[in-house]
Amino acid sequence: MPPASTPFSFVLETPAAPPEEARRHFLAKLSVETDSADLHLDLERGKPGIVVVDVRSPEAYAERHIPGALSLPARTISESSTAHLDKQDVLITYCWSPGCNGSTKAAARLAALGFRVKELIGGIEYWVKEGHPTQGTAPQGQAVYPERPTR
């Protein structure tokens, strides 16, 4: 027997935004985020102007990181620690997973220093889940379940 019909909707309790407002929102979101599939394809194709930045601890970076990523722990980001980076490049920050905001904090710090930046949604966890290659001491394809993320 189907559930009783009711005029109330949890989804529609807050009305959807008008199409142009929704378009602006989603374009703004895409301007500060990227996903593993898009990043992997651009890296595989050698797309210039993209620099991947691992903002976790040096120990986490040594264990596993995206090939070619720079190690720049979030709390060390400053004018001096970023002096070697080109402000014309787009920096892609990542940390552990969707539950970690280290890449968000790092992206904010980098933007404050004048860098163009996007955050890799899902972090290294989703990079591995999607089967993309990594470098470091951890075996390829091994799940990413850190005991305690350090930054």
**Which SS3 state, helix, strand or coil, does residue 27 take?**
helix
Please give the pLDDT value at position 142: 72
Domains and CATH numbers, the chain: 33-129 (3.40.250.10)
Instruction: Write phi, then psi, for 19 (nearest 5 degrees).
Output: -50, -45
* Residues of the chain with confidence (pLDDT) below 70: 1-3, 141, 145-151
pLDDT score for 144: 73
**DSSP conformational letter for 131:** T
pTM over 0.95: no
Residues 6+ apart with CB under 8 A from 100: 123, 149
- What are the backbone angles phi and psi of residue 75, rounded to the nearest 5°? -75, -10
CA 55 – CA 38 distance, rounded (Å): 20
The pLDDT score that the predictor gives to residue 6 is 82
Name the E strands within 36-145: 50-54, 70-71, 90-94, 116-120
Nearest Cα to 73, choosing from 98, 109, 48? Answer: 109
* Pairing of the two strands 33-34 and 70-71: unpaired
pLDDT at 141: 66
